[in-house]
Amino acid sequence: METNKILSSLCYFSIFFAGFIFPIVVYFVTNNPETKRHAKSAFLSHLFPFIGIVFIIMGLILDIGIFTSGSGIPFFFILSFVVYGILVAIVIIWNVIKGIKVLMN
């Protein structure tokens, strides 16, 4: 198996062990344009969960009155965690599928 395929696949699988650091390192170290493309794609997909934190902050802001008064259910805060969880699950599944596809080609 080619080293470039393994590196490209590991960029996607790094969501489990190295986050967005591994794709950055691979992007700057490798000279192969295909591996660079996969490293860039993996890096961007690893950033989506960080962008999803905006949902949690918005839910916290929208429910600040409920938190301060102590009455009611913080609906938007709970909804934001559900949306964030779905986003993270989609990103993980997408990275695993892309990593397997790279190895199979």
First and final CA of the chain: distance in angstroms? 10
pTM check: above 0.95 = no
Which pLDDT tens digit goes with each residue over 2-19? 888 999 999 999 999 988
| Token reading at 54 | 């905006």
Counted residue by residue, the chain has a size of 105
Query: How large is the average pLDDT for residues 29-38?
Result: 93
Position 38: which residue type?
H
Sign of CA dihedral 2, 101, 38, 94: negative
What is d(CA 54, CA 62) in angstroms, rounded to the nearest whole number? 12
Which pLDDT tens digit goes with each residue over 86-102? 999 999 999 999 999 99
Query: How large is the average pLDDT for residues 27-41?
Result: 93
